[in-house]
Amino acid sequence: YRLDLCTWAEVEQYLTKCKGIILPIGSTEQHGPTGAIGTDALTAEAVALEVGKRAGVLVAPTQAYGMAEHHLGFPGTMSLQSSTLLNVVHDLLLSLARHGFERVFVVNGHGGNIATVKAAFSQAYKTVLNLKLPVAAGFRCKLVSWFMVPDVFKEAKARYGNLEGQHATPSEIAVTLFLEPNLQSKQRQLPEPAPAGPIYDYQDFRQRYPDGRMGSDPFLAKPDHGEIFLDKAAIALTEDLLNFLKEL
Amino acid sequence: YRLDLCTWAEVEQYLTKCKGIILPIGSTEQHGPTGAIGTDALTAEAVALEVGKRAGVLVAPTQAYGMAEHHLGFPGTMSLQSSTLLNVVHDLLLSLARHGFERVFVVNGHGGNIATVKAAFSQAYKTVLNLKLPVAAGFRCKLVSWFMVPDVFKEAKARYGNLEGQHATPSEIAVTLFLEPNLQSKQRQLPEPAPAGPIYDYQDFRQRYPDGRMGSDPFLAKPDHGEIFLDKAAIALTEDLLNFLKEL
Amino acid sequence: YRLDLCTWAEVEQYLTKCKGIILPIGSTEQHGPTGAIGTDALTAEAVALEVGKRAGVLVAPTQAYGMAEHHLGFPGTMSLQSSTLLNVVHDLLLSLARHGFERVFVVNGHGGNIATVKAAFSQAYKTVLNLKLPVAAGFRCKLVSWFMVPDVFKEAKARYGNLEGQHATPSEIAVTLFLEPNLQSKQRQLPEPAPAGPIYDYQDFRQRYPDGRMGSDPFLAKPDHGEIFLDKAAIALTEDLLNFLKEL
Amino acid sequence: YRLDLCTWAEVEQYLTKCKGIILPIGSTEQHGPTGAIGTDALTAEAVALEVGKRAGVLVAPTQAYGMAEHHLGFPGTMSLQSSTLLNVVHDLLLSLARHGFERVFVVNGHGGNIATVKAAFSQAYKTVLNLKLPVAAGFRCKLVSWFMVPDVFKEAKARYGNLEGQHATPSEIAVTLFLEPNLQSKQRQLPEPAPAGPIYDYQDFRQRYPDGRMGSDPFLAKPDHGEIFLDKAAIALTEDLLNFLKEL
Amino acid sequence: YRLDLCTWAEVEQYLTKCKGIILPIGSTEQHGPTGAIGTDALTAEAVALEVGKRAGVLVAPTQAYGMAEHHLGFPGTMSLQSSTLLNVVHDLLLSLARHGFERVFVVNGHGGNIATVKAAFSQAYKTVLNLKLPVAAGFRCKLVSWFMVPDVFKEAKARYGNLEGQHATPSEIAVTLFLEPNLQSKQRQLPEPAPAGPIYDYQDFRQRYPDGRMGSDPFLAKPDHGEIFLDKAAIALTEDLLNFLKEL
Amino acid sequence: YRLDLCTWAEVEQYLTKCKGIILPIGSTEQHGPTGAIGTDALTAEAVALEVGKRAGVLVAPTQAYGMAEHHLGFPGTMSLQSSTLLNVVHDLLLSLARHGFERVFVVNGHGGNIATVKAAFSQAYKTVLNLKLPVAAGFRCKLVSWFMVPDVFKEAKARYGNLEGQHATPSEIAVTLFLEPNLQSKQRQLPEPAPAGPIYDYQDFRQRYPDGRMGSDPFLAKPDHGEIFLDKAAIALTEDLLNFLKEL
Ligand code: NI
Ligand code: NI
Ligand code: NI
Ligand code: NI
Ligand code: NI
Ligand code: NI
């Protein structure tokens, strides 16, 4: 179910049976003093692969870089501008549309990508219609963010209460601890976080949230929580995806 | 040495000792009837990680999508337009320059990326100077393609002769067999390939190279060859990188 | 409080006392068989002017055209592509930042604008920082959609229940009836609307929602409801704006 | 005749009888120490509505923001870059072309828009042909600037002589006084204006024309002059429009 | 006085004495059944070189390609889109500004370039200010079209009356006959031209002006007329340029 | 064989017999303390015209400006950004494709253009396919750089050894001396050049190569060498072109 391990002939075969594909998109950005910079890509990829396995749907490679301009005040953050990410998503969707994929399920790991990905859907629909691709009448894209799945969010609130926070959250860190056990060695007790609040530019962000956390206590995260979050996300999104594929 | 597994605080620390970073860039495109679509990303990432380990230099996440417009005639190929890829590389370089990275070593797995990445370097230099970033006086980028390393190329010619070909080559396939042993099950004897020749648009490409191969016989590839290619690439590029870092 | 009726000298004077400004953004798009094409611009402008009056804050001219690509299947819809709207908002924000405005309160009348306007904020912050404008340290933008104000939404649900729907809603139509009484002559009983559902491209939209309505019954709208919605929106957003201006 | 007060069904009906539409475009920019910042949008809109009424042709909403880069030295000016305005006009024209409008009559209120709008026409023609829209063979756009109508210009010269000047002219101010009588309270005797001359960048502009006027004395403007200018513009442009609609 | 024949050291020296430079811009487009496709570039270059010689001002190489979209219906026309030409002119102006050139005198040979070049000036001024280049306070550009010089235009009217027309005019053809005597062999009596009229897209253009001429009779052109036009253009533009250089 | 001296009718005729065209592209950039700034355009044009004459193939006007960002540290260099040049080449190729040209042979005079021109080919192929131009099935572009022709390179090495260097080389200077004999007066003995090395941004370039030369001794150049280089380039490229035209 990993596109990158398929041959083109296998994809051609797959398309005779299924027109759906999963496209994971993450971000490469600071996640507080103890969280991994790759958190959003690692988690989006893991969720996507799990959903792909359960639904029997192909998973494209993860776009590891997203729109993380507001995190650029912290070393290691690598961000695409909105306009660039818009074009990336547009071009990938167009590639898929050309091959006859009709349902693209974008599994997202980063809140900052949402606006731009939605804008990209709109541009892609327009290009597909303009080019009169054979797939035009049925080409549809859906964006889901695994951390916004209701069951995931409820679980996080139940476990961590307000200390779930809004960035570098224990729920996403837990998933990375489950995926990359070595990351546990970075975990340590942290001082009280800056309270969650608005997001403006990256200088303001660093001043407002000096260690990168927005109201979260990632020290609460444990690997086994991560396994549970991953499972809850996969259950809900697999159902979502199957409905999306069945949609007329 | 994987940036995505570091925290921002670790990167801050790292930058006090080393200003270099490795950025792998691949492509997601057909590699003949038996080769994996992710070949160029898998191999670029593996080489980059190996060089990073040997040189003690951070490796950023792999940009899995590159410029593969001429492969769009084969299902599964996902391509960024040149102008999009140019902006992707520009934005990533700018992010790094902001943090004080002075040497970006781009490890490439796909010939089709070369022109665009070079164009992106030129745009990035301009922006860095325009913004008068503190790093401006010392910011430099270098593009290396692992498959063009002389020792790799010589080894490939010695092992496969003309059947190395120009796309879906046994050398790159061998590396993927070493990295993902399951891929061996796809290997099979193939008919004589279309001879290597010019590359124009994707319709012409598919007509000229009906199964996607350009003069290559990937069935010659063996996992242990892959290990050797990987090692030869890593040896040469590690030296290259260390010289690049020492350059005044 | 209308910027377009001020002189530059008055604006210069105003800036010595207040750094805030309201920017209304609408859309020019079909609103069902009986709703006005200008609904989103008319309502956003009315809310913005009411908030400006109550808060004593300048209101810039309304950007009457927004991102309405999915409505292009209906005659009269005039839409900017996402990338265009992104640049429009970026340029307007930059103009304001140059003059020393520090808080831009964007009052939006159309759901389809939200993603793009947020993407534009991110680009604008970046440019403001890159240009090192004097205002850089304090420049902030906030997007509010009047129809998503909780008290407005609650009122609409209370009055119309599920027939509020998702597009060409009785609540927005009510506001236009209050603002432009002549529009009442267009009101008429309509057949049951297509149920609300997903939005993809404009061909799909017209097929799915043949008369342009998404689950709404705009015939329920009355001018006096409109006055109430306007007031509720103005109350909540005025408070929002005043807090935004006070924010450190 | 206001598009924003029509329903899509009315537009569909209208298109069976007339393929023309008027698109007003203004600017939001300084107009001297006593002139309204919205002068160019207010006047373009008023002229457009008057022409629409007389000719029985639909009038689209006013694009209130234009290319006013050279006025950015004065607070309150809000400008789109040329490249942005080009895309705005392009996208609006394309929206109209899709619906079957064949004659777009752009009524302009600002000299600084002319070059960019013309460039946009050329891009729009190209896109319409590239997309092979049904309307392609007959799609035509015409730009008229109300203040350049010979009868308007002659009248202004007759009334104000050289003190008509080139920016913040008494003729355009007179129209705003007629449209918005409250603006009369801002009128006052002004010192001799800087003589009209060339326009370069906005810093140079403010140095050259310290109060924003280019050789004009807007204190000469009276509301009843405005009514006359409006009428003369409407007479000439209505004839122009009717000829444009009749053109084979 | 040809920049392309100078060394950089000579330019450095030149800049200590003069901050002006001439930039010729032409077009490569049909000029009727007997006129040369390069007419606009050949004439702009000749005028520019003559003015440069007389004024002692450097002349940059000719940008041979301009905005000629409406001529694309005739084989041999090679056109840049408006947005492309805008960027070309922007980049060239920025290059000159970086070196300290303060007055760029653009000598144009093609009406279709005017709008775009003016838009480019505005973008270039903005970039120069944004970058705070040392030259920012004094950087100015001026566009002149040799065929619109009053003395040239009067001479053409005197010689050819209405048969001067609007495209493929005898005046511009005469200049090419003077510059390239071999072109005389192409001259021949032509049927009455289509009358001059509006310009829309390239399909409409070819239908309206089937042989490419707009109301002109290029057979009236003689080489010695060309010499006179060239001289009249050079006299007027040399004076223009000298005034431009002296402007404070 | 010069397109700019043809009429459109002659081009229409030509296209019935030959679908090929030559497009020369140069650069306007420093070439050391004694070399002409126009070297790359002068030489590309001369080679292109010679090849055109020998092969009987039309030669389009020279695009005199290329991507020379790294030379901007030297006065007189005029450079297009990569993204701009990409669009220039794209637009010119599209113009040619529209007319039915099937083989575009781009003769290049500047190493810095190569990456961008290749990227442009890829974009142009895509547009040609997207527009379904009649020529789509056979449209092909080929980039050749005259100074990289093996026989030219060998001759240069034989004559100048290592002092051929990498920029402002005696071989390219020799061609300019042959074309423009007046340039000989600038020739003089120069101090030992900085050794050839890497190219980064333009500040770094000027520091690394203080007089603009990269390891070259242009004083070795003689006009008669230039004639030989020109001839060798023309022989090889004429053959190349004829093969390109014959290619199925
Ligand atoms: Ni995250
Ligand atoms: Ni490969
Ligand atoms: Ni609405
Ligand atoms: Ni005005
Ligand atoms: Ni001409
Ligand atoms: Ni050169």
Complex ipTM value: 0.97
Is B78–A87 a contact, with Cβ atoms under 8 angstroms apart?
no
Spell out where chain B has E strands. Answer: 20-25, 58-59, 103-108, 140-145
Q: What is the pLDDT of residue B223?
A: 98
Residues of D with CB under 8 A from a CB of E: 67, 69-70, 81-83, 86, 112, 114-116, 118-123, 125-126, 128-129, 136-137, 139-142, 198, 200-204, 247
Residue closest to F242 by CA, chosen among F92, F85, F93, F55: F55
Is C204–A137 a contact, with Cβ atoms under 8 angstroms apart?
yes
Tell me the residues surrounding ligand 1 (ion) with CB < 5 Å: A 39-40, 172
Give the pLDDT mean for E172-200: 97
Neighbour subunits, E (≥3 Cβ pairs < 8 A): D, F
Give the pLDDT mean for A218-247: 98
Give the pLDDT mean for C65-79: 98
- Interface mutation target, options B83, B90, B117, B122, chain F, most CBs of F under 10 Å: B122
Question: Taking CB atoms and an 8 Å cutoff, what residues of chain E touch F96?
Answer: 78
Question: Percent of chain D scored above 90 by pLDDT?
Answer: 99
Per-residue pLDDT tens over the stretch F53-68: 999 999 999 999 999 9
Q: What is the pLDDT of residue F145?
A: 98
Residue C90 pLDDT level (bands cut at 50, 70, 90): very high
Question: Percent of chain A scored above 90 by pLDDT?
Answer: 99
For chain C, the average pLDDT equals 97
Closest residue to F126, CB basis, from B81, B139, B141: B81
Is A30–B12 a contact, with Cβ atoms under 8 angstroms apart?
no
Per-residue pLDDT tens over the stretch A71-105: 999 999 999 999 999 999 999 999 999 999 999 99
Q: What is the pLDDT of residue D248?
A: 81
Distance E144 CA to ligand 3 centre (A): 48
Q: Which residues pair with B181 in a beta bridge?
A: none
Distance F114 CA to ligand 6 centre (A): 12
Give the pLDDT mean for B91-103: 98
Torsion of Cα atoms, C116 then C117 then C121 then C126, to 10°:
30
Touching chains D and E? (3+ Cβ pairs < 8 A): yes
Does residue F248 have a pLDDT over 90?
no
Closest residue of F to E21, CA-based? Answer: F76
Does residue A248 have a pLDDT over 90?
no
Give the pLDDT mean for A148-159: 97
Question: Taking CB atoms and an 8 Å cutoff, what residues of chain E touch F87?
Answer: 80-81, 83-84, 87
Is C81–A129 a contact, with Cβ atoms under 8 angstroms apart?
no
Does residue C48 have a pLDDT over 90?
yes
Torsion of Cα atoms, F81 then F83 then F89 then F91, to 10°:
-130
Distance E240 CA to ligand 4 centre (A): 28
3-state secondary structure chain C: CEHHHCCHHHHHHHHCCCCEEEEEECCECCECCCECCCHHHHHHHHHHHHHHHHHCCEECCCECCCCCHHHCCCCCCECCCHHHHHHHHHHHHHHHHHHCCCEEEEEECCHHHHHHHHHHHHHHHHHHHHCCCCCHHHCEEEEEEHHHCHHHHHHHHHHHHHHHCCECCHHHHHHHHHHCHHHHHHCCCCCCCCCCCCCCCHHHHHHHCCCCCECCCHHHCCHHHHHHHHHHHHHHHHHHHHHHHHCC
Neighbour subunits, F (≥3 Cβ pairs < 8 A): B, E
Tell me how many degrees the CA angle B145-B150-B152 measures, rounded to the nearest 5: 75
Pick the ligand that lies closest to the CA of residue A145: 1
- Interface mutation target, options F83, F90, F91, F179, chain E, most CBs of E under 10 Å: F91
Does residue B248 have a pLDDT over 90?
no
Pick the ligand that lies closest to the CA of residue D4: 3
For chain D, the average pLDDT equals 97
Pick the ligand that lies closest to the CA of residue C168: 3
Question: Taking CB atoms and an 8 Å cutoff, what residues of chain A touch B60?
Answer: 28, 78
Is E5–F180 a contact, with Cβ atoms under 8 angstroms apart?
yes
Does residue D86 have a pLDDT over 90?
yes
- Interface mutation target, options E8, E79, E82, E127, chain F, most CBs of F under 10 Å: E8
Is B75–A182 a contact, with Cβ atoms under 8 angstroms apart?
no
Touching chains B and F? (3+ Cβ pairs < 8 A): yes
This prediction has a pTM of 0.97
Using CB atoms within 10 Å of the CB of residue C162, give its burial: 0 to 12 exposed, 13 to 18 middle, 19+ buried.
Answer: exposed
Q: What is the pLDDT of residue A168?
A: 98
Closest residue to C98, CB basis, from D5, D72, D180: D72
Closest residue to C115, CB basis, from A115, A136, A137: A115
Q: What is the pLDDT of residue F77?
A: 98
Per-residue pLDDT tens over the stretch C160-213: 999 999 999 999 999 999 999 999 999 999 999 999 999 999 999 999 999 999
Residue C248 pLDDT level (bands cut at 50, 70, 90): confident
Q: How far apart are CA D183 and CA E85, in angstroms?
A: 42
Give the pLDDT mean for C154-163: 97
Closest residue of B to A37, CA-based? Answer: B4
What residue has token string 């236009």?
C176
Closest residue of A to C248, CA-based? Answer: A208
Closest residue to C82, CB basis, from A123, A136, A141: A123
Q: Are E47 and F65 in contact (CB under 8 A)?
A: no
Residue E248 pLDDT level (bands cut at 50, 70, 90): confident
Q: What is the pLDDT of residue C159?
A: 97
Closest residue of C to D168, CA-based? Answer: C7
Is E61–F6 a contact, with Cβ atoms under 8 angstroms apart?
no
Per-residue pLDDT tens over the stretch E12-71: 999 999 999 999 999 999 999 999 999 999 999 999 999 999 999 999 999 999 999 999
Distance F162 CA to ligand 6 centre (A): 17
Neighbour subunits, C (≥3 Cβ pairs < 8 A): A, D
- Looking at the complex, report in whole angstroms how far the Cα of residue F190 sits from the nearest Cα belonging to chain E: 13
Tell me the residues surrounding ligand 4 (ion) with CB < 5 Å: D 39-40, 172
Neighbour subunits, A (≥3 Cβ pairs < 8 A): B, C
Is B83–A87 a contact, with Cβ atoms under 8 angstroms apart?
yes
In order of B59, B61, B235, B238, the CA distances from B54 in angstroms are 11, 17, 9, 7
Is A86–C83 a contact, with Cβ atoms under 8 angstroms apart?
yes
Question: Beta-carbon neighbour count of residue D132 at 10 Å?
Answer: 11
Question: Taking CB atoms and an 8 Å cutoff, what residues of chain D touch E125?
Answer: 69-70, 200-202
Torsion of Cα atoms, E120 then E124 then E130 then E134, to 10°:
-170
Is B203–F83 a contact, with Cβ atoms under 8 angstroms apart?
no
For chain E, the average pLDDT equals 97
Distance B154 CA to ligand 2 centre (A): 17
- Interface mutation target, options B117, B200, B202, B244, chain F, most CBs of F under 10 Å: B200
Closest residue of D to C187, CA-based? Answer: D7
Closest residue to B8, CB basis, from A2, A75, A182: A75
Q: How far is CA C248 from the centre of its chain?
A: 26
Give the pLDDT mean for E123-130: 97
Closest residue to C91, CB basis, from D9, D12, D84: D84
Residue F17 pLDDT level (bands cut at 50, 70, 90): very high
Is D7–C28 a contact, with Cβ atoms under 8 angstroms apart?
no
Per 3-state DSSP, chain F is made up of helix, strand and coil in percentages (nearest 5) of 55, 10, 30
Is E204–D137 a contact, with Cβ atoms under 8 angstroms apart?
yes
- Looking at the complex, report in whole angstroms how far the Cα of residue E61 sits from the nearest Cα belonging to chain F: 6
Using CB atoms within 10 Å of the CB of residue F162, give its burial: 0 to 12 exposed, 13 to 18 middle, 19+ buried.
Answer: exposed
Distance A69 CA to ligand 1 centre (A): 13
Question: Taking CB atoms and an 8 Å cutoff, what residues of chain E touch D119?
Answer: 67, 82-83, 86, 115-116, 119
Q: Which DSSP helix (H) or strand (E) runs through E114? A: helix E114-130
